[in-house]
Amino acid sequence: MSSRFPGKTDENVLIKAMTDGDMGAFAEIYKRYAPGLRRFVTGLIKDKAKAEDIVQNIFMRLMSSKPSFENVTAFKNWLFVCARNEVVSTMRSKWESQVDRVQVLPEKISDGIQTEAMMPMLNSVLAKMPKKRSEVFRMSKLNGLSAEEIAARMGISVRTVQKHLEIARREFSHYLN
């Protein structure tokens, strides 16, 4: 099947035809730019499958929303900016999800919602932590003590307690991934 738009067709002609609903023009744009976008996104996130999903999302939106390209002077650059924004959005969403999971776990523990399935995981992570950090975490999340109370009992600063809890949250996050 030969394309009505040979490889040297002007980009502006393709964009105009695509915005007019020409699927052949859309296919030619996809053929030209998808491989480079895939490489770019894969370089950013190091996950080929996720990169493919992101590129597909960009082209699906491009096809379905029919954006106006009147103000777009460099279409290729615009596509790469869209790809970068999609990666940032994806990573932000993933990061927020991880933060939510990490924050919920200690709250569940401190609220007394300790399931049998959760305790082995909790004990496993705590066993890998330095003794002081594990002790700070247990006092905070299992015994419900404030940072000030823990600092007074252990003879360390409140900032040190906070730092131990921050690092413990990161360790739980790493374990949950």
Q: Which CATH architecture has domain 114-176?
A: Orthogonal Bundle (1.10)
131-151 pLDDT per residue, tens: 999 899 888 877 888 899 999
Locus of tokens 């404030």:
146
Q: Which fold has domain 11-94?
A: Rna Polymerase Sigma Factor; Chain: A (1.10.1740)
49-82 pLDDT per residue, tens: 888 888 888 888 887 666 666 666 788 888 888 8
DSSP string for residues in 12-70: HHHHHHHHTT-HHHHHHHHHHHHHHHHHHHHHHH--HHHHHHHHHHHHHHHHHH----T
Residue 131: what pLDDT?
A: 92
Whether 11-94 and 114-176 share one fold: the answer is no
Across the chain, what does the average pLDDT equal? Answer: 77
pTM confidence score: 0.49
Residue 159: what pLDDT?
A: 92
Local confidence band at 94 (pLDDT 50, 70, 90 cut-offs): low
pLDDT(85) > 70: yes
In angstroms and rounded to an integer, the radius of gyration of the C-alpha atoms of the chain is 26
- Which 8-state DSSP code applies to residue 2? -
Q: How many CA atoms lie within 13 A of 170 on its CB side?
A: 7
1-54 pLDDT per residue, tens: 445 655 556 888 888 888 887 888 888 988 999 999 999 999 988 888 888 888
C-beta atoms surrounding 112 within 10 Å: 8
Nearest to 134 by CA among 142, 124, 123, 126: 126
d(CA 96, CA 1): 46
Nearest to 168 by CA among 132, 117, 120: 132
Q: Domain-by-domain residue ranges, the chain?
A: 11-94, 114-176
Residue 141: what pLDDT?
A: 78
Residue 3: what pLDDT?
A: 54
**Residue 58, burial from CB neighbour count under 10 angstroms (0-12, 13-18, 19+):** buried
pLDDT(152) > 90: yes
